[in-house]
């Protein structure tokens, strides 16, 4: 089915926004489920001769003497596996979209995502869950393709506007998806259900929601999404996609340093993001539904920070807004690190939950300041002809951080059995990131271009 490409820019950007939003919602439904999902498979098929049984044996050899430690490590491994495949395949899908068109590649990747979620519905065994995350990671290049489509329909001076549409959709998706995942999670997540001939499991309902979102997204793109890359422009599709490995060849040292600071920050942030649901289980015995409150709270703090950032920038500039975010992150990581974990002889201290939510709120506030600021700084430090390439390198830095951060944080948590070192590590990483941002010159704003 073909759709005329002569649609208003606003409508195409709206379709891009909806496509990215639905994709991220479907992907992030699983985030609050990880501790209980992994515990379920360890309990139900943790014997030798199964994938999770073999992993459990390896984890015990490494020092994983509790189910909780194993779930932390396995959660990090699954997150890293997904992110690594996304990091590898995103440039491939982007290059294919340059050759065969954005719409064609989007339909393929979205169909693959839908297939992975359908498989998750019937994941009676852990190896099926691993397979679904692998397929999902391989198909995650649709964000890169959607970003390319946004660049197709915006002029160079409006490029930031197109990228903002994608960024806002990603942020909203990561807010809504975990909330849906928590609300659709089973009440009794530790109950081992009887074997189903169809392979249904306690998490089949959240999986069905993800599958529905991905299927509707596929239908949306197939029925309404126009081709944004004309045939005449595909002759130049051999252009190499920007990646973090191109950072050394960037002409602007300011862009290099800003991208490096972004990489460091996101290693710390993604490490926290991957372990926070394990921390709420350890501190407060939270279920996936209890985590809904946390994700809503974090989302409101993030939105509040993004709204404030526009006003603060007018007074102190993008560079100092990013520095303010880094300082807030140091305080946030430190506060959470200082919460003592409960033990058999020492119950949870009364002030733990209040400090935890203050720390999480501050960290979401910091993220709402840092991420838009580093994007704006890279844009302001770039010449008009290098905007797309440099912003692509910045996003690639974030993708690489999602490979490094979750596994690093999970391994720290696994080896120490405490969140303390995970969050101390996050606070320590903020120091060089802050130093790099502080060393940057104030960007020159050309009013006609920005």
- pLDDT per residue over 112-130, tens digit each? 999 999 999 999 889 999 9
Checking if the pLDDT of 212 tops 70, the result is yes
Are both 301 and 398 inside the same structural domain? yes
Share of the chain above pLDDT 90, in %: 39
- At residue 353 the predicted structure's pLDDT band, cuts being 50, 70 and 90, is very high
pLDDT of residue 438: 93
More confident residue, 55 or 161: 55
pLDDT, tens only, 257-269: 999 999 999 999 9
Q: Which residues of 238-256 are buried (b: 16+ CB within 10 A; e: fewer)?
A: eeebbbbebbeebeeebbb
Are both 65 and 207 inside the same structural domain? yes
SS3 call for 242: coil
CB atoms within 10 A of CB 17: 18
- pLDDT mean over 394-399: 83
Among the candidates 168, 199, 231, a domain finishes at 231
C-alpha–C-alpha distance, residues 102 and 105, integer Å: 5
- pLDDT mean over 2-15: 67
Among the candidates 231, 260, 289, a domain finishes at 231
pLDDT of residue 398: 85
More confident residue, 391 or 123: 123
Are both 262 and 203 inside the same structural domain? no
Taken in order 90, 96, 101, 107, the sign of the CA dihedral is negative
Residue 2 lies in a domain: no
Enumerate residues 6+ apart whose C-beta is below 8 A from 280: 286, 290, 291, 294, 356
Are both 184 and 325 inside the same structural domain? no
pLDDT of residue 58: 86
> What tokens does 223 get?
């029925």
C-alpha–C-alpha distance, residues 250 and 256, integer Å: 7
More confident residue, 104 or 193: 104
Checking if the pLDDT of 220 tops 50, the result is yes
Can you give the pTM of this predicted structure?
0.86
Are both 209 and 278 inside the same structural domain? no
More confident residue, 164 or 410: 410
pLDDT, tens only, 46-82: 766 788 888 888 888 888 778 888 999 999 999 999 9
Residue 44 lies in a domain: yes
According to DSSP, residue 103 is labeled: H
According to DSSP, residue 32 is labeled: G
Give the range among 143-152, 191-200, 424-433 with minimum mean pLDDT: 191-200
pLDDT of residue 189: 56
285: left (phi over 0), alpha (psi -120 to 50) or beta: left
- Cα-based angle 266, 271, 274 (whole degrees, multiple of 5): 120
> What tokens does 381 get?
């430090």
More confident residue, 22 or 165: 22
Using CB atoms within 10 Å of the CB of residue 28, give its burial: 0 to 12 exposed, 13 to 18 middle, 19+ buried.
buried
Residue 450 lies in a domain: no
The boundaries of the domain holding residue 344 are 242-441
User: Which residue shows structure tokens 């006609």?
Assistant: 448
C-alpha–C-alpha distance, residues 130 and 424, integer Å: 30
Are both 262 and 382 inside the same structural domain? yes
C-alpha–C-alpha distance, residues 443 and 247, integer Å: 19
Checking if the pLDDT of 373 tops 80, the result is yes
Among the candidates 181, 211, 231, a domain finishes at 231
C-alpha–C-alpha distance, residues 309 and 153, integer Å: 27
Are both 277 and 385 inside the same structural domain? yes
Residue 446 lies in a domain: no
pLDDT, tens only, 433-444: 999 999 998 876
Residue 400 lies in a domain: yes
> What tokens does 110 get?
């979205």
Residue 187 lies in a domain: yes
C-alpha–C-alpha distance, residues 3 and 398, integer Å: 33
pLDDT of residue 388: 67
pLDDT of residue 347: 83
Mean predicted lDDT score pLDDT of the chain: 84
Are both 406 and 374 inside the same structural domain? yes
CATH at residue 436? 1.20.1250.20
CA nearest neighbour of 316 among 385, 271, 373: 373
pLDDT of residue 446: 52
pLDDT, tens only, 233-280: 665 555 566 667 777 777 788 988 999 999 999 999 999 999 999 999
Are both 260 and 386 inside the same structural domain? yes
Whether 23 and 166 have beta carbons less than 8 Å apart is answered as: no
pLDDT, tens only, 304-330: 887 787 778 777 888 898 999 999 999
pLDDT of residue 131: 95
- Cα-based angle 209, 213, 216 (whole degrees, multiple of 5): 135
Residue 447 lies in a domain: no
CA nearest neighbour of 395 among 174, 109, 90: 90
pLDDT, tens only, 174-193: 889 999 999 998 876 554 45
Taken in order 315, 261, 383, 306, the sign of the CA dihedral is negative
Are both 11 and 130 inside the same structural domain? yes
Residue 448 lies in a domain: no
pLDDT of residue 449: 43
The H or E element spanning position 66 is: none
Are both 109 and 257 inside the same structural domain? no
**Highest mean predicted confidence (pLDDT) among 10-24, 39-53, 355-369:** 355-369
Enumerate residues 6+ apart whose C-beta is below 8 A from 285: none
Taken in order 167, 172, 178, 181, the sign of the CA dihedral is negative
Total domain count, the chain: 2
User: Which residue shows structure tokens 């530790």?
Assistant: 190
pLDDT of residue 1: 39
Are both 251 and 135 inside the same structural domain? no
């Amino acid at each position: 089915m073909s759709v005329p490409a002569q649609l208003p820019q606003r409508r195409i950007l709206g379709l891009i926004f909806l496509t990215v939003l639905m994709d991220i919602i479907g992907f992030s439904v699983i985030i609050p489920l990880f501790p209980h999902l992994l515990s379920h498979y360890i309990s139900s098929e943790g014997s030798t001769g199964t994938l999770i049984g073999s992993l459990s044996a390896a984890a015990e050899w490494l020092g994983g003497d509790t189910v909780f430690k194993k779930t932390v490590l396995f959660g990090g491994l699954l997150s890293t596996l997904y992110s690594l495949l996304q990091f590898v395949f995103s440039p491939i899908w982007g290059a294919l979209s340059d050759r065969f068109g954005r719409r064609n590649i989007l339909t393929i990747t979205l169909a693959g995502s839908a297939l992975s979620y359908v498989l998750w519905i019937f994941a009676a065994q852990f190896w099926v869950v691993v397979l679904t995350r692998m397929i999902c990671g391989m198909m995650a290049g649709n964000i890169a393709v959607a970003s390319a489509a946004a660049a197709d329909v915006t002029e160079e001076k409006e490029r930031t506007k197109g990228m903002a549409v994608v960024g806002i959709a990603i942020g909203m998706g990561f807010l809504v998806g975990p909330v849906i995942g928590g609300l659709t999670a089973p009440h009794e997540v530790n109950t081992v259900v009887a074997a189903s001939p169809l392979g249904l499991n306690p998490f089949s309902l959240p999986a069905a929601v993800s599958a529905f979102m991905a299927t509707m997204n596929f239908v949306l793109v197939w029925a309404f999404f126009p081709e944004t890359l004309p045939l005449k422009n595909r002759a130049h599709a051999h252009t190499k996609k920007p990646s973090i490995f191109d950072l050394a060849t960037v002409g602007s040292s300011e862009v290099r340093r800003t991208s490096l600071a972004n990489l460091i920050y996101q290693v710390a942030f993604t490490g926290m993001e991957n372990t926070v649901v394990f921390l709420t289980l350890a501190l407060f015995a939270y279920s996936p539904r209890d985590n809904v409150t946390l994700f809503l709270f974090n989302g409101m703090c993030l939105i509040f920070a993004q709204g404030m950032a526009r006003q603060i920038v007018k007074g102190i500039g993008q560079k100092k807004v990013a520095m303010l975010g880094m300082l807030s992150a140091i305080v946030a990581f430190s506060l959470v690190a200082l919460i003592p974990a409960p033990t058999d002889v020492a119950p949870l201290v009364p002030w733990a939950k209040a400090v935890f939510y203050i720390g999480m709120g501050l960290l979401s506030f910091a993220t709402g300041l840092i991420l838009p600021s580093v994007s704006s700084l890279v844009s302001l430090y770039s010449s008009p002809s290098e905007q797309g390439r440099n912003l692509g390198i910045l996003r690639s830095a974030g993708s690489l951080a999602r490979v490094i951060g979750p596994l690093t944080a999970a391994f720290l948590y696994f080896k120490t059995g405490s969140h303390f070192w995970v969050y101390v590590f996050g606070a320590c990483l903020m120091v060089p990131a802050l130093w790099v941002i502080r060393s940057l010159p104030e960007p020159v704003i050309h009013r006609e271009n920005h």
